[in-house]
């Protein structure tokens, strides 16, 4: 796969996962009722992150890393590694989103922080996934 195709796919999948993440966050915040704002925000960020993670894993595995492996054990191991690589990048995302909320106290700025954090996080995550998760020599993608 060409570098251009890889970048376009990865960017498109990041946008899809980001939109799903933010949609789930909005839904959770809308349904949070009498919950404290801090608790509602934490729950929304967590639920959005899970939604984005699941969508991004499925898309990355098949269309970025061209991984056609099968089997529950293989999927479980790769998803666990994929999730572990996401811990650092999730901290980037959560930290940026939370910082923007604390500074500006507005949903548009919180979402701007989320988009910035997710963008930086996805660039870091691609490199971690390529190096540690999808390591089979038969896999596609662009090598350094």
Does some domain include residue 47? Answer: yes
Does some domain include residue 48? Answer: yes
Does some domain include residue 80? Answer: yes
- Report whether 134 contacts 78 (CB < 8 A): yes
Q: What residues contact 41, with CB distance under 8 A and at least 6 apart?
A: 29, 98, 101, 110
Does some domain include residue 64? Answer: yes
Low-confidence ranges of the chain (pLDDT < 50): 137-144
Q: What is the pLDDT of residues 8-36, one digit of tens each?
A: 999 999 999 989 999 999 999 999 999 99
Burial class (CB in 10 A: 0-12, 13-18, 19+), 75: middle
Distance between alpha carbon 74 and the CA centroid of its chain, in Å?
21
What is the predicted pLDDT for the residue at 110? 92
What is the predicted pLDDT for the residue at 40? 94
Does some domain include residue 138? Answer: no
Does some domain include residue 144? Answer: no
Tokens of 132: 């540690």
Does some domain include residue 141? Answer: no
* Total tally of structural domains belonging to the chain: 1
User: pTM here?
Assistant: 0.77
Q: What's the Cα-to-Cα distance from 33 to each of 29, 68, 73, rounded to whole Å?
A: 8, 43, 40
Does some domain include residue 143? Answer: no
Domain encompassing residue 72: 3-133
What is the predicted pLDDT for the residue at 32? 93
What is the predicted pLDDT for the residue at 122? 84
What is the predicted pLDDT for the residue at 90? 85
- Report whether 89 contacts 125 (CB < 8 A): yes
């Amino acid at each position: 796969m060409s570098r251009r195709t890889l970048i376009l796919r990865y960017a498109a999948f990041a946008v899809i996962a980001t939109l799903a993440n933010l949609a789930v966050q909005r839904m959770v915040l809308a349904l949070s009722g009498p919950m404290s704002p801090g608790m509602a925000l934490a729950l929304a960020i967590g639920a959005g992150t899970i939604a984005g993670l699941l969508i991004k894993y499925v898309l990355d595995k098949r269309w970025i890393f061209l991984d056609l492996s099968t089997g529950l054990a293989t999927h479980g191991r790769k998803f666990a590694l994929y999730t572990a690589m996401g811990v650092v990048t999730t901290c980037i995302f959560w930290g940026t989103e939370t910082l923007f909320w604390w500074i500006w106290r507005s949903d548009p700025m919180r979402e701007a922080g989320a988009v910035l954090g997710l963008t930086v996080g996805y660039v870091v995550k691609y490199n971690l996934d390529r190096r540690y998760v999808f390591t089979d020599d038969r896999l596609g993608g662009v090598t350094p």
